[in-house]
Amino acid sequence: MERYDFVIRGGEIHDGLGTPGRIGDVAIRGGVIAAIGSVSGTGAHEIDAAGAIVTPGFIDVHTHYDGQVTWETTLAPSSNHGVTTVVMGNCGVGFAPCHRDQHDMLIELMEGVEDVPEVVMAAGLPWNWETFPEYLDALEQRHMDVDFAAQLPHSALRVFVMGPRGARQEAPTEADLAQMRALTTEAVRSGAIGVSTSRNLLHRTRAGELAPSVFSEEAELLALAGGLRDAGDGVFQMIPSVTGDAQHEFALMRRIAVASGRPLAFSLLQSHSGDEDAWSHTLSLLSAANEDGLEMRAQVFPRPVGFLYGLDLSFHYFSLHPSYRALADLSLAEKVIALRDPEVRARLLVEEPVSANEFALAIVKGFARALPMTDPPNYEPDMRYRVSQEAKKRGQTLAEHALDLLLADDGKAIYFVPGANYRDGNLDAARAMAAHPNTVLGLGDGGAHYGLICDGSFPTSYLQSWVRDARPDQAVALPAAIRALSLEPAWSVGLRDRGTLRVGGRADLNVIDLARLRLYAPTVAYDLPGGGRRLRQNADGYLATFVNGQMTYRNGVHTGALPGRLIRGARPQA
């Protein structure tokens, strides 16, 4: 009789290809799937999956674990939501390559763009690298709860090549361009999954200075594309300008795809500023590009990309008020005591926010649209009950009502603003984007925005809200949803050795009780290096998660297994 490491029995097996599920068993041995169907042999460990679904491990291609992967061994909040592989180094920001005198600059950039506290990076980053290949060599020593792949970040590369000129966004010389191209090729040949850049004016340091990549001319972007062409591998990941004309921006991305000869991925959201229908125009252009033979995909998100506010988080209504700055470093309990002082309250209520960072000012002013974060969370709230409207009902100023709200639950209350993708109280645009044949789910941003966003949980909310609990006319079929979380994102970055369940394939998989699947509201934990704070978000219903044949999570609890390793470059189907 055959013996296996694990046998998962009686589950509804979804292979990730989009085919209907079928009841059967899955046997695992030596890190691979040894049998699927009716398994007569026995396992050293057996899991009763009756009533549950068995899926490939989920893939998140848009994360920022570049720092977290160096200082801890679990990549939450992705790994506790069924994700077994992550791709980091997005948005053109990261920590390699980096000369030894450039550490502070990259820390300041990551703090501003991705809301990772400076104290966390200063305490956690080992900086045992300078070049990108050396960074990968350092990561290869790390053992994690998920597999992880890295991209070469443009802003770091620009400063590495140009020094202060790159940070000041000066134009590169021909020699600079040649070096950037060569280093891109070197990074991909050493194992980078691709190169990433950002043209988003919202990407700034905490002081308000633009990310080095934002105003790069086309010649520089084409140099990066040329580096991919020279390597004959890799993807080009891009955050396009959110203020420019959609057709003009897409034309630039199309030229990059042509120059590289490689796949190009870009983020796409429904914006609340400028042309609110730009996403729709972009999808039409995307269809035409793929019909012309270009491999271009939009990374989209299946719920609002929103902000979380609270006294214990990065932002709230008063976080940029002059009188609050003296309180910012106090403990939560001390802040609550101070804010209940009538004199402090009186000063705050007459002040305005002050900052050189326009994006930070916009975030603070956005609190007017906030609603309480409920448990379980409601990502499609009724905007009639936003803070500004409730203040009017109570006969209070916005500031008065905001201060009362922030002091609720001894300052632990969290408030949510549904931002991009949520217009007129619906997710119609998000649904249309996700249904397009040339888009891929992503943008979870795990490892970033520790005190502002907690979107790494999107696989759970997607399965809940878009599959199990959706209206019949809006529901995504379960086989299609599993494919969207596994095969499609994996193959979009060249990882064709995962995202499906098949005999002889990688044993990365989930056992999920869909009926019991429940997402909890985010909570705050002070468990980062230097005592740093982050948002965590738990879920029920994940009975087991496997990475490389080892069970990493059982009923949502980490087993201690760390089979996750660095992925060097694209992987063909085994």
DSSP track, 483-494: HHHTHHHHHHTT
In a domain, residue 125? The reply is yes
Q: Which residue has the tokens 């529901």?
A: 475
Residues 299 and 377 in one domain: no
Q: How many domains does the chain have?
A: 2
Residue 355 CB contacts under 8 Å (≥ 6 apart), including other chains? 208, 320, 361, 364
Contact (Cβ atoms closer than 8 angstroms) between residue 158 and residue 216: yes
Examine the fold and report which residue of 395, 420, 445 is the final residue of a domain before the chain moves on.
420
Q: Report the alpha-carbon distance of residue 116 to residue 112 in Å, rounded.
A: 8
92 residue type, one letter? G
Residue 205 confidence (pLDDT)? 74
Do 173 and 317 belong to one domain?
no
196 and 104 in a common domain? yes
Euclidean distance between CA atoms 387 and 149, whole angstroms? 41
Residues 342, 481 within the same domain: no
- Work out the number of other CB atoms within 10 angstroms of the CB of residue 44: 11
> Are the CB atoms for 556 and 96 separated by under 8 Å?
no
Amino acid at 148: F
Helix axes 174-190, 132-139, angle to 10 degrees: 20
DSSP class of residue 548 equals T
Q: What is the pTM of this model?
A: 0.96
Residue with tokens 């619906």: 426
Cis peptide upstream of residue 322 (ω within 30 degrees of 0): no
Residue 331 domain-assigned (yes or no): yes
313 and 171 inside one domain: no
Check if the beta carbon of residue 193 is closer than 8 Å to that of residue 234: yes
CA distance 110 to 117: 8
With contact defined as beta carbons under 8 Å apart, do 233 and 184 qualify? no
- Single out the residue of 162, 63, 65 nearest to residue 121, CA to CA: 65
Instruction: Identify whether residues 430 and 343 lie together within a single domain.
Output: no
Rounded Cα distance between 13 and 28, Å, is: 14
Distance CA(119)–CA(67), nearest Å, equals 12
**Which tens digit of pLDDT belongs to each residue from 496-537?**
999 999 999 999 999 999 999 999 999 999 999 999 999 999
Helix pair 218-231, 174-190: axis angle to 10 deg = 40
| pLDDT for the residue 208 | 72
**Degrees to nearest 5, angle at CA 221 with 220 and 223:** 65
The answer to whether residues 247 and 315 belong to one domain is no
In a domain, 451, yes or no: yes
Domain-embedded: residue 18? no
Residue 502 near residue 15, CB atoms below 8 Å: yes
Nearest-angstrom CA–CA distance, 511 and 57: 9
Do 67 and 188 fall within a single domain?
Answer: yes
Residue 497 lies in a domain: no
Q: Within a domain: residue 104?
A: yes
Q: pLDDT 10s digit of each residue in the chain, 574 long?
A: 799 999 999 999 999 999 999 999 999 999 999 999 999 999 999 999 999 999 999 999 999 999 999 999 999 999 999 999 999 999 999 999 999 999 998 998 888 888 898 999 999 999 999 999 999 999 999 999 999 999 999 999 999 999 999 998 899 999 999 999 999 999 999 999 999 999 987 777 777 788 899 889 999 999 999 999 999 999 999 999 877 788 999 999 999 999 999 999 999 999 876 677 889 999 999 999 999 999 999 999 999 998 999 999 999 999 999 999 999 999 999 999 999 999 999 999 999 999 988 888 999 999 999 999 999 999 999 999 999 999 999 999 999 999 999 999 999 999 999 989 998 889 999 999 999 999 999 999 999 999 999 999 999 999 999 999 999 999 999 999 999 999 999 999 999 999 999 999 999 999 999 999 999 999 999 999 999 999 999 999 999 999 999 999 999 999 999 999 999 999 987 6
pLDDT tens for 132-144 read: 999 999 999 999 9
CA separation (Å) from 399 to 351, 368, 384, 386?
Answer: 9, 9, 18, 14
Tell me the C-alpha distance between 41 and 6, whole Å: 10
Is the domain of 428 the same as that of 396? no
CATH number of the domain residue 73 falls in: 3.20.20.140
555 phi-psi bin (left φ>0, alpha ψ -120 to 50, beta other): left
If asked whether residues 84 and 112 sit together in one domain, one would say yes
| One domain, residues 341 and 296 | no
Domain residue limits at 323: 308-420
Buried b (16+ CB within 10 A) or exposed e, 204-239: bbbeebbbbbbebeeebbbbbbbbbbbbebbbbbbb
The answer to whether residues 408 and 442 belong to one domain is: no
Instruction: State the CB neighbour count (10 A cutoff) for residue 496.
Output: 15
- For residue 452, tell me if it sits in a domain: yes
The predicted pLDDT at position 357 comes to 83
- Please give the angle made by the CA atoms of 129, 130 and 132, to the nearest 5 degrees: 90
**Burial of 252: CB neighbours in 10 Å, binned 0-12, 13-18, 19+:** middle
Please say which residue of 420, 452, 482 terminates a domain.
420
Residue 566 domain-assigned? no
Encoded tokens for 292: 């012309």
Residue 114, token pair as written in the block = 């991705």
Determine phi and psi for 506, rounding to 5 degrees. -60, 140
Tell me which residue of 176, 188, 158 sits closest to 261, measured CA to CA: 188
Among residues 420, 447, 476, the one where a domain terminates is 420
State in Å, rounded, how far the first CA of the chain is from the last one: 27
CB 467 within 8 A of CB 87: no
